[in-house]
Structures are given as structure tokens and as C-alpha cells.
Amino acid sequence: MMKSICESNGYVEQFVLGEGELRFAVKDTLDIAGYRTCAGCPALAAAPVAQHHAGVVATLLNNRCVLTGKTTLHELAFGVTGINAWSGTPVNPLFPALIPGGSSSGSAAVVASGEVDFSLGTDTGGSVRMPAACCGVLGLKPGYGVISRDGVLPAHSSLDCVGIFARNATVLRQVLTHLSIPVGEPITALPEVAFVAAAIPEIDALLLGQLEQQGIRPHHSQLPALDDAHRAGLAIISHENWQAFNSLLSSEEVSPDVASRIRAGKDVDAAALANAERVRIKFTAEVDALLEQTPLLALATLPELPPTLQEAQDPLSVVNLTRLVRPFNLSGHPAITLPMGEIRGRPVALQLVAAKGREGLLVQAAEWFCRGLA
């Protein structure tokens, strides 16, 4: 059954598959058998109906989770605001004047509104962590390859990960357990934390103040290649999205903004890609070295406050919003975002990064923070 965005606050289709305990929704880049995967794009409105569920969806259904529907997104998952004139822009439930964040906007919104217990999104350059930060919920990006991308659009990506939204860490623990991702027992003390100050001063000050209130005195650290990693991630996603979606441009049904960015990927040459891969190696080594000293790396999720819907009409105003999340797609490390407060009525979120294979530690840390902030 089709539902308007105003009625459902993020859904493009609603249905119920199965009976169970946890209710969840999925971004419309994941296949659901019997439904089209449209990715918020009119050029895919007549795409063939999916024959099978995406692998991660099938696993959750087999663990008695209840699928309630598919959610809208920034067109072709290629944008940071979540604004979509065709499939609808979901209202940010807690901060309605602000963008819901992209690209997994609907998946963040239906969790923030309480319509589901958790949802699935995809994160190629921050597309789970950013909307989670904008909507004031938890957003986990596992390490690259940890959750199956079978049945996920685009089919091939060296950056993209299926990620999870939830309002509390207890649900995250349950979801990871259903996906056979180990999470240890709840921790009574947070391990050592390294903090990288990389956002505007107001945000960094709020986050450091919150850490101090929780009795955490982080080591102040640096990631010298952070900005280079952001630019390298942009080059790679641009190239890979050109490969994935350029065939859709002939229909002239892709929005001008998204189409122009897809076309820009044609100009990413072999030299630029080789440089991006060198940056990937360098930045990954920097993060690994830091995490050998302290088990958790902390920094802001967003480098500045989320813009209003009106402010986001200017593309230049959102260019740098992924500057602190995209680098960890490049390196492949797991990362989680946690709501930590507000500045002038706009949400601020903390990003935690752990070593590869330590998704469980991020959930344990989220549980610890949730208890302390309750």
C-alpha cells in the first residue's frame, strides 16, 4: 500500500512481512521480493520487481523480525540533505525545521518517530551516520563487508556498507546478535578514548564537556590525513556512481543536481583513482596506529550544525557535512554516532570509531553512554 510522506514520515511503501518481536524498515536501495527497488529515482520507477530479499533482510526475517516497509532517501543515495522532490522528503521528527540528512533520510526518520524499533540504511560516505546525527538517533556503520550487500543497490562498491539505525543501544545489540555479529557483555567502564578536534569550536567544546561529565579524559590526538581521506572518498564514490548509474542519464528522469554529480564521475581519471588508493592506504594506517594505542577514537559526527531545509537549498552550504564521516568509509573501520546534546536547537552527535572487527565494542560503548546520559 502506498503512503504519502506526510502520513508515514519517511515510508514510500508500507507492508508487514512476518510476525516477530522487532519491527524494522529498510531503505529503498535494498531488495524486497515482490517490490521494485527504486532508490528514490523516477528513472527506476519501472525497474523489474525484485525476485529475492536482500541477504541482510532475509537473515532478519528468519530471526523473527517484522519488516514494515521501505523508506525514502536522497535520490540514488547520492546526496547529503535527504531532500527528494519525487519520492518525498521526510520530516525530521525531533527537529522539523532541519534537514533529515542523507542519504538514508527515511530510515532515520521512521526510527526517530518511533514507528519502528530499528531500520536499515546504507552508508557510502556517511549516509547512515549523518541522518542519524540530524534526527537525534543512533547510527551504526559496520566495517566494510561485515554485513552482506547481496541485493543492495548499487551492486558493486568499495565503500558502501549496510548500516543500522536505532533509538537505543539495547536494540542495536539485539540486531547485531540476529546478524551473528558478536557483542560482548555490557561494560562497566569505558576503555581509553582518543579525541580528534575537527569540528567547529562550539561542537568540539560541547562534546569534550559531555565526555568530562561522564568522567572521561580523552587523549588529544590527530589524524593528519583526515581531509585527504575525505577528498579521496569523494573521488572514489564519484567514479563508482558514474559506473553504476550513468546508463540512467539517457532517460532524463534523474534530477539535474544528482545527474550533474554522476556526470562528474566520468572525469575521475586513473591518476586520481590511484592517488585516492594511496590515500586510502595512508589514512587506514593512521587510524590503525591510533587504535593500537587507544581502543576508541572519538570525534564529532558532523563538523558543523545541521542546516535548515531552507539553508540546504544552497548546495554550497552542505559541501563539507560529510568531512568527518566519509574518511571511515575509505578506511573501512566501523563507526557509530550517538546524540550528545544541542546547540541553539540543533543536534550535536559524537562519532566513535573502533578497530576492524570491533563492532561489538561500539555497541558496548553506546550502551555505556546511554546509561550515563539517561
The backbone torsions φ and ψ at residue 300, rounded to the nearest 5 degrees and listed phi first, read -65, 150
Tens of pLDDT along the chain (374 residues) come to 233 333 347 999 888 877 778 999 999 999 999 999 999 999 999 999 999 999 999 999 999 999 999 999 999 999 999 999 999 999 999 999 999 999 999 999 999 999 999 999 999 999 999 999 999 999 999 999 999 999 999 999 999 999 999 999 999 999 999 999 999 999 999 999 999 999 999 999 999 999 999 999 999 999 999 999 999 999 999 999 999 999 999 999 999 999 999 999 999 999 999 999 999 999 999 999 999 999 999 999 999 999 999 999 887 789 899 999 999 999 999 999 999 999 999 999 999 999 999 999 999 999 999 987 76
All domains of the chain in start order, with CATH: 11-373 (3.90.1300.10)
* C-alpha closest to that of 170 among 22, 347, 17, 10: 22
Burial annotation 341-362 (CB, 10 A radius, 16+ → b, else e): eeeeebbbbbbbbbbbebbbbb
What radius of gyration do the chain's Cα atoms show?
19
